């Protein structure tokens, strides 16, 4: 009777809940259920491990198991929200898809074998030692290198800062220079562009500040889907009346939520932004007082400089180009009367006799992450902005042909739409209003990626929108700590804090390195203190003034050692060992075939990840096995797979897209063989040091003298992550924790592992773990975690006040000078010397920080100004210039020069380029393809394709095509299409949608195809990889690949299988007349 009374239908009929929406629908078991959030034993504070929004997470633990993960409502960034990926992170951390044990594939083996963890660690240590000895280079061409090119590593953007610190420290001490991570292939362009423009390479603003914008331009990003939780701040701005503009080849949810959507041809944003720059200048819409005082608009440029426009008709080349070397000598770009030292790496390379091609290859533009190029001498300014050689007039001439008509012709944007956007951004800029720009890898991944972001920098400086609330440039980063893996770089060309890696010279002392590299003015003038403190952190008591603080222990670079050069070194047999640390290049890097063939040529490979990603299993199930190009039994590569610990199983900090370090606590210990990368590096270092103990070989001194004594905790001897953060922060000779980088000394009395993170452990408190709820503080939320530099949230915020120190307007008040207090005050940490008054003017011979005047907001720039024109620091031009992508269906309508003349291209069998524009047979690949990320998947898929929720939500690779293209190529909705380039062919389901719009460009219609890039052959959701199609063609500043604008062909049906596939691709190459010279041209001016 009791059971019958509980029957839901009876309860519904007899009780008050007649609609069955409440009690009637409950059974007794349901009523007895309790939320896991209630029954948990404890709640552990954490941070989402997916994209770089950095959402707060509460991790619920019961019986020492993670049972639930929820959004943390206290977080000022996320306010309790999680996107589908963050919500699925319980599956990521506790799901059955995680490998739990070490796996081993012996040379020529056909399957995995189990190996115990200790044995595997010992074997890897042996291989590191042997490869290092096999490939050691004391010198190259008579220049000291002290390094090995026989070993490389890749990965770090998904890891903690503390893990990246150990990777860089250990491998540097071993002499390994080929250390790279996802930052190379995702946002290296950002660092060089924002660094040269403003003095630091991080986002100038932070997500929450977007709510204060009056207009937001989102371009090169599908913000709403790729960073959904961060997008709430765009919606907050919209709710307050802001105008939202989305510029993108593809209509997406971001477009749907915008007030204006601007479809654009992929690969033409510089022409578009150049058009806006021209509009702002020619219509006198720029913020004159801001521009005159806070930018280099008034500075006079050398009379030797020649612009792209200066030859008849404008050929599209700057002065100083060496067509044979395919590089610019940038001397003529410099200011009149001043000597502008080049970017940090280049400044060093100018010392001695480094060849010019090495300068352009060394990735030195990347070193402006926190310190703009140095200035020396004196220079002249004309604050009327009338001098024909002042930056403003040069800029005006440079963009004079970027008219609305030209924009329409190149980009396919109708002139009326152009004017609507131009009106919106100019109406929403000035004293009372601000406009923000937000972008992601839609801008960075081009052969002119740096100059894309430079274009926005120029525009925002002209409009007076940098350093002001609701303004700025928001670089939307896509890995939890990709900002951190640039700051504490697992990158070949940088040391922590953007100190450049030293170049190879016959002999170079620390003082010569500093003298060649440090700026005379601004905070970069203190570089010796930053460097010596780093060397003390690395080598402790062994680092003394007598041995140059072990400066000689650092291995030297001699050109580019980026991940793309490393792949070629693998193919050429020069690199024999490779460690993949949370990165999946067999799916995520350009030209995946070359990635796999490179790995097939290794002696040994270490893969650390959650599941068996494609980069771990290519030898048994990769595409080349199917086509017969590789045979498992013939592959000699020895493969070790180590299962990784998840973010809930380790302590550490992520640096999010706001430049904010946020600590996540370990909720439980990792099970079985799963370990953190911190554990792996620490114990690998211990084993290697033990094996080398007693060695008298000079090559082993750096690893034996390394400070490697971190305390450990727990049953697994996990290094104490807080100790590593403390070393990153630094201490003085009294053992006191430093509170900021101004306390660093150059005499060895301070140690600091990363000067820009100095203050993160101030007073012995883990500042990155602070969690004062956002409801208890202002928008800047200064007591939530810690941002670099010096806990400043809005960079360059001195510019939020006028030259006299007063807010530009009450509405846009942020930081101002308080005369009574004698200091800068406001709702942020001032990005300026706190007591330096606006009236301060330096003496003519002032140096260092004293040379920065009271009206110089850009304190990391040697002249204190925002750079509209970059006189040094970039290798492909002082001002952004439109060039067509490497592969394009169109001729460059602005210049005879078709492509970036100094881009990096590689003529290899599996890396063929397409004919472009008017080239014969360019029509074989008539369509433009662009790539993108989905909400439900994450980069190369390792953290999403194995999660049931996410795999179910996005189960299959698809391509988006317009109805017109579908009709032209007989493509059926939900049917199959084959997409082809000279590199490969893939298949995808067809989605016919009006979201893809044909554009009218240069008198004809161009169709664009959208393609997500997450898939590979493994996981619950599998499919072909987009990067089978892409080529390795790189931006010359930072070596980032062009994967946002390709040309392709598309046809209905599935791709060929087996050996027919390479034959199919070769047939396309033959039809298009492609050979080793196609697309390799540098200068194309005839």
Partner 1 sequence: MAASADHDLPAGLRYMVEHGHAADGSHALNTEPTQHLVNPRAVNPTQHAAVAEWVRRRVQADEQMRSAKEAS
Q: Which of 45, 468, 521, 793 binds partner 1 (CB under 8 A)?
A: 45
Task: Assess 714 for contact with partner 1 (CB under 8 A).
Answer: no
Stretch that binds partner 1, among 31-39, 91-99, 350-358, 932-940 (CB under 8 A): 31-39
Q: Which of 37, 100, 283, 835 binds partner 1 (CB under 8 A)?
A: 37
The residues with which 244 forms a beta bridge, in sequence order, are 216
Task: Assess 44 for contact with partner 1 (CB under 8 A).
Answer: yes
Stretch that binds partner 1, among 89-97, 381-389, 540-548, 615-623 (CB under 8 A): 540-548
Place of tokens 């440079």: 398
| Smallest separation (angstroms) from partner 1 to the CB of 986 | 41
Give every CB contact of residue 470 below 8 A, 6+ residues apart in sequence.
209, 210, 211, 212, 213, 214, 237, 433, 434, 435, 436, 812
Task: Assess 544 for contact with partner 1 (CB under 8 A).
Answer: yes
Q: How many CA atoms lie within 13 A of 563 on its CB side?
A: 32
Q: Which of 339, 713, 921, 968 binds partner 1 (CB under 8 A)?
A: 713
The DSSP call for residue 529 is H
* 8 A C-beta contact, residue 329 and residue 322: yes
| Smallest separation (angstroms) from partner 1 to the CB of 726 | 5
Stretch that binds partner 1, among 262-270, 597-605, 706-714, 1044-1052 (CB under 8 A): 706-714
Report residue 460 CA to chain centroid gap. Answer: 21
Q: Which of 869, 1009, 810, 849 is nearest to 925 (CA)?
A: 1009
Query: What are residue 956's phi and psi, to 5 degrees?
Result: -155, 145
Task: Reduce the secondary structure of 381-412 to three states and give it as a string.
Answer: ECCCCCCCCEHHHHHHHHCCCCCHHHHHHHHC
How far apart CA 905 and CA 902 sit, in angstroms, is 9
| Smallest separation (angstroms) from partner 1 to the CB of 1055 | 46
| Smallest separation (angstroms) from partner 1 to the CB of 765 | 5
| Smallest separation (angstroms) from partner 1 to the CB of 814 | 18
Task: Assess 79 for contact with partner 1 (CB under 8 A).
Answer: yes
How far apart CA 162 and CA 484 sit, in angstroms, is 9
| Smallest separation (angstroms) from partner 1 to the CB of 725 | 8
Q: Which of 910, 1036, 1053, 885 is nearest to 969 (CA)?
A: 1053
Task: Reduce the secondary structure of 893-915 to three states and give it as a string.
Answer: CCCCCCCCCCCEECCCCCCCCCC
| Smallest separation (angstroms) from partner 1 to the CB of 81 | 7
Task: Assess 81 for contact with partner 1 (CB under 8 A).
Answer: yes
Mask for 907-936, x = binds partner 1 (CB under 8 A): ------------------------------
Q: Are strands 321-322 and 712-713 parallel, antiparallel or unpaired?
A: unpaired
| Smallest separation (angstroms) from partner 1 to the CB of 799 | 27
How far apart CA 611 and CA 236 sit, in angstroms, is 38
| Smallest separation (angstroms) from partner 1 to the CB of 252 | 23
Place of tokens 């044909």: 998
Task: Assess 541 for contact with partner 1 (CB under 8 A).
Answer: yes
Stretch that binds partner 1, among 65-73, 129-137, 935-943, 994-1002 (CB under 8 A): 65-73
Q: Are strands 1004-1006 and 985-992 parallel, antiparallel or unpaired?
A: unpaired
How far apart CA 847 and CA 452 sit, in angstroms, is 33
Report residue 856 CA to chain centroid gap. Answer: 28
Q: Which of 11, 246, 364, 536 binds partner 1 (CB under 8 A)?
A: 536
Task: Assess 543 for contact with partner 1 (CB under 8 A).
Answer: yes
Stretch that binds partner 1, among 115-123, 200-208, 702-710, 874-882 (CB under 8 A): 702-710
Could you please report the per-residue DSSP string of 289-324? HHHHHHBSTTBBBPTT---TTSSTT--S--TTEETT
Q: Which of 35, 107, 923, 1053 binds partner 1 (CB under 8 A)?
A: 35
Task: Assess 71 for contact with partner 1 (CB under 8 A).
Answer: yes
Nearer residue to partner 1 within complex by CB, 297 or 543: 543
How far apart CA 468 and CA 559 sit, in angstroms, is 38
Torsion angle, alpha carbons of 318, 324, 330, 331, to 10: -110
Q: Which of 437, 513, 564, 710 binds partner 1 (CB under 8 A)?
A: 710
Residue 257, judged by CB atoms within 10 A of its CB (0-12, 13-18, 19+), counts as: middle
Q: Which of 11, 74, 88, 188 binds partner 1 (CB under 8 A)?
A: 74
**Which residues inside 650-669 make contact with partner 1, applying CB under 8 A?**
665
Nearer residue to partner 1 within complex by CB, 149 or 728: 728
Stretch that binds partner 1, among 84-92, 189-197, 716-724, 936-944 (CB under 8 A): 716-724
Nearer residue to partner 1 within complex by CB, 176 or 779: 779
| Smallest separation (angstroms) from partner 1 to the CB of 709 | 8
| Smallest separation (angstroms) from partner 1 to the CB of 676 | 16
Task: Assess 70 for contact with partner 1 (CB under 8 A).
Answer: yes
Q: Which three-class secondary structure state does DSSP give residue 464? A: coil
| Smallest separation (angstroms) from partner 1 to the CB of 741 | 17
Reported in sequence order, the residue ranges of 450-567 that DSSP labels E, i.e. its strands, are 473-475, 494-495, 499-500
Q: Which of 722, 794, 936, 960 binds partner 1 (CB under 8 A)?
A: 722
Helices and strands, counts by H and E, the chain: 36, 41
| Smallest separation (angstroms) from partner 1 to the CB of 772 | 10
How far apart CA 705 and CA 689 sit, in angstroms, is 9
How far apart CA 493 and CA 501 sit, in angstroms, is 5
Nearer residue to partner 1 within complex by CB, 287 or 786: 786
Task: Assess 241 for contact with partner 1 (CB under 8 A).
Answer: no
Task: Assess 58 for contact with partner 1 (CB under 8 A).
Answer: yes
| Smallest separation (angstroms) from partner 1 to the CB of 766 | 5
Q: How many residues bind partner 1 (CB under 8 A)?
A: 57
| Smallest separation (angstroms) from partner 1 to the CB of 232 | 8
Nearer residue to partner 1 within complex by CB, 388 or 711: 711
Mask for 386-425, x = binds partner 1 (CB under 8 A): ----------------------------------------
The DSSP call for residue 215 is E
Nearer residue to partner 1 within complex by CB, 47 or 117: 47
Tokens of 763: 């007073």
How far apart CA 197 and CA 1021 sit, in angstroms, is 42
**Which residues inside 723-782 make contact with partner 1, applying CB under 8 A?**
723, 726, 731-735, 737, 745, 747-751, 764-767, 769-771, 773-775
Residue 186, judged by CB atoms within 10 A of its CB (0-12, 13-18, 19+), counts as: buried
Cis omega (within 30 of 0) for bond into 1030: no
Nearer residue to partner 1 within complex by CB, 530 or 710: 710
Q: How many CA atoms lie within 13 A of 650 on its CB side?
A: 28
Nearer residue to partner 1 within complex by CB, 780 or 1084: 780
CA dist list (Å): 931 to 166, 573, 1011: 34, 32, 5
**Which residues inside 8-27 make contact with partner 1, applying CB under 8 A?**
22-23
Stretch that binds partner 1, among 69-77, 258-266, 410-418, 614-622 (CB under 8 A): 69-77
Nearer residue to partner 1 within complex by CB, 81 or 1044: 81
Interface contacts to partner 1, rule CB under 8 A: 22-23, 35, 37-38, 40, 42-45, 58, 70-74, 79-81, 536, 540-541, 543-545, 665, 707, 709-711, 713, 720, 722-723, 726, 731-735, 737, 745, 747-751, 764-767, 769-771, 773-775
């Amino acid at each position: 009777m009791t059971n019958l009374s509980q029957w839901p239908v009876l309860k519904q009929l007899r009780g008050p809940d007649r609609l069955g929406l409440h009690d009637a629908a409950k059974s007794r078991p349901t009523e007895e259920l309790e939320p896991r959030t209630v029954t948990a034993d404890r709640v552990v504070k954490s941070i989402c491990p997916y994209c770089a929004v950095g959402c707060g997470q509460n991790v619920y633990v019961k019986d020492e198991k993670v049972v639930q993960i929820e959004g943390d409502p206290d977080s000022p960034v996320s306010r309790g929200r999680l996107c589908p990926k963050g919500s699925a992170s319980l599956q990521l951390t506790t799901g059955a898809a995680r490998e739990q044990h070490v796996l081993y594939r012996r040379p020529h083996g056909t399957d995995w074998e189990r190996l115990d963890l200790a044995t595997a660690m010992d074997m890897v240590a042996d291989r590191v030692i042997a490869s290092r000895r096999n490939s050691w280079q004391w010198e190259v061409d008579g220049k000291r290198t002290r390094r090995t090119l026989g070993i490389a590593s890749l990965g770090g953007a998904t890891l903690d800062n503390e893990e990246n610190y150990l990777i860089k420290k250990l491998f540097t001490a071993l002499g390994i220079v080929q250390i790279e991570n996802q930052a190379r292939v995702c946002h290296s362009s950002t660092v060089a562009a924002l660094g040269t423009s403003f003095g630091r390479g991080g986002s100038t603003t932070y997500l929450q500040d977007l709510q204060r914008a009056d207009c937001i331009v989102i371009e090169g990003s599908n913000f709403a889907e790729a960073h959904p939780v961060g997008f709430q701040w765009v919606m907050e701005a919209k709710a307050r009346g802001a105008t939202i503009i989305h510029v993108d080849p593809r209509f997406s949810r971001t477009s749907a939520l915008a007030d204006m959507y601007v479809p654009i041809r992929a690969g033409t944003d510089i022409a578009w932004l150049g058009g806006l720059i021209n509009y702002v200048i020619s219509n006198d819409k720029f913020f004159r007082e801001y521009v005159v005082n806070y930018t280099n608009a008034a500075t006079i440029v050398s009379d030797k400089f020649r612009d792209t426009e200066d030859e008849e008709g404008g050929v599209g080349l700057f002065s100083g180009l060496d067509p044979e070397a395919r590089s610019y000598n940038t001397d003529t770009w410099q200011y009149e009367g001043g000597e502008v030292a080049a970017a940090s790496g280049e400044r060093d390379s100018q010392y001695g006799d480094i060849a010019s091609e090495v300068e352009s290859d060394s990735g030195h533009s990347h070193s402006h992450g926190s310190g703009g190029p140095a200035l020396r001498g004196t220079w002249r300014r004309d604050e009327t902005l009338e001098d024909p050689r002042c930056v403003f007039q040069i800029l005006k001439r440079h963009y004079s042909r970027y008219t609305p008509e030209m924009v329409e012709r190149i980009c396919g944007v109708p002139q009326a739409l152009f004017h609507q956007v131009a009106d919106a951004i100019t109406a929403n800029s000035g004293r009372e209003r601000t406009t923000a720009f937000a972008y992601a890898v839609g801008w960075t991944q081009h052969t002119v990626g740096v100059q894309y972001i430079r274009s926005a920098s120029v525009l925002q400086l002209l409009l007076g929108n940098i350093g002001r609330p609701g303004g700025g440039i928001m670089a939307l980063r896509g890995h939890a700590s990709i900002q951190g893996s640039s700051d504490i770089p697992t990158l070949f060309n940088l040391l922590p804090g953007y100190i450049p890696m030293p170049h190879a010279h016959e002999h170079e002392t620390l003082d010569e390195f500093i003298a060649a590299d440090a700026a005379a003015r601004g905070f970069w003038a203190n570089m010796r203190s930053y460097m010596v403190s780093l060397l003390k952190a690395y080598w402790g008591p062994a680092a003394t003034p007598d041995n140059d603080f072990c400066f000689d222990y650092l291995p030297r670079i001699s050109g580019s050692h980026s991940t793309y050069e490393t792949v070629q070194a693998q193919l050429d047999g020069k690199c024999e060992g490779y460690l993949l640390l949370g990165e999946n290049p067999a799916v995520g890097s350009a030209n995946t075939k070359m990635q796999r063939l490179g790995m097939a040529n290794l002696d040994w490979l270490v893969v650390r990840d959650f599941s068996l990603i494609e980069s771990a299993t290519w030898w048994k199930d990769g595409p080349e096995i199917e086509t017969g190009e590789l045979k498992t039994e013939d592959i000699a590569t020895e493969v070790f797979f180590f299962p990784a610990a998840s973010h809930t199983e380790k302590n550490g900090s992520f640096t999010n897209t706001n430049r904010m370090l946020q600590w996540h606590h370990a909720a439980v210990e990792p099970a079985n063989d799963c370990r953190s990368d911190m554990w792996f590096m620490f114990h690998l270092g211990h084993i290697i040091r033990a094996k080398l103990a007693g060695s008298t070989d000079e090559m082993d001194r750096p690893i034996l003298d390394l400070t490697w004594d971190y305390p450990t905790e727990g049953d697994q001897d996990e290094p104490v992550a807080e100790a590593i953060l403390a070393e990153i922060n630094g201490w003085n000779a009294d053992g006191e924790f430093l509170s900021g980088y101004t306390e660093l000394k150059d005499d060895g009395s301070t140690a600091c592992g990363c000067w820009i993170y100095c203050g993160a452990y101030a007073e012995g408190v883990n500042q990155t773990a602070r969690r004062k709820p956002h409801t208890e503080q202002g928008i800047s939320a200064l007591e939530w975690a810690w941002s670099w530099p010096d806990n400043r949230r809005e960079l360059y915020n001195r510019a939020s006040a006028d030259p006299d120190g007063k807010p530009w307007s009450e509405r846009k008040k942020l930081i101002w000078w308080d005369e009574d207090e004698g200091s800068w005050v406001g709702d942020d940490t001032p990005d300026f010397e706190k007591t330096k008054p606006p009236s301060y003017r330096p003496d003519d011979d002032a140096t260092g920080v004293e040379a920065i005047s009271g009206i110089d907001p850009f304190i990391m720039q040697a002249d204190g100004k925002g750079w509209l024109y970059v006189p040094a620091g970039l290798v492909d031009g002082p001002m952004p210039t439109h060039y067509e992508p490497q592969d394009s269906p169109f001729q460059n309508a602005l210049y005879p020069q078709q492509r970036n003349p100094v881009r990096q291209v590689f003529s290899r069998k599996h890396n063929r380029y397409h004919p472009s524009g008017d080239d014969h047979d360019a029509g074989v690949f008539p369509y433009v393809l662009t790539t993108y990320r989905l909400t439900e998947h994450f980069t190369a898929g390792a953290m999403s394709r194995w999660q049931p929720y996410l795999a179910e939500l996005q189960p299959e690779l698809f391509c988006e095509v317009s109805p017109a293209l579908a009709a032209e190529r007989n493509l059926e909705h939900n049917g199959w299409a084959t997409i082809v380039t000279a590199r490969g062919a893939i298949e995808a389901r067809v989605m016919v949608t009006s979201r893809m719009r044909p554009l009218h460009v240069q008198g004809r219609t161009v169709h664009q195809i959208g393609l997500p890039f997450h898939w590979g052959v493994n996981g619950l959701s599998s499919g072909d990889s987009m990067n089978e199609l892409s080529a390795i063609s790189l931006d010359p500043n930072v070596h980032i690949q062009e994967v946002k604008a390709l040309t392709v062909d598309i046809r209905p049906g599935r791709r060929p299988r087996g050996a027919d596939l390479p034959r199919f691709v070769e047939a396309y190459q033959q039809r298009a007349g492609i050979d080793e010279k196609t697309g390799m041209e540098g200068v194309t001016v005839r």
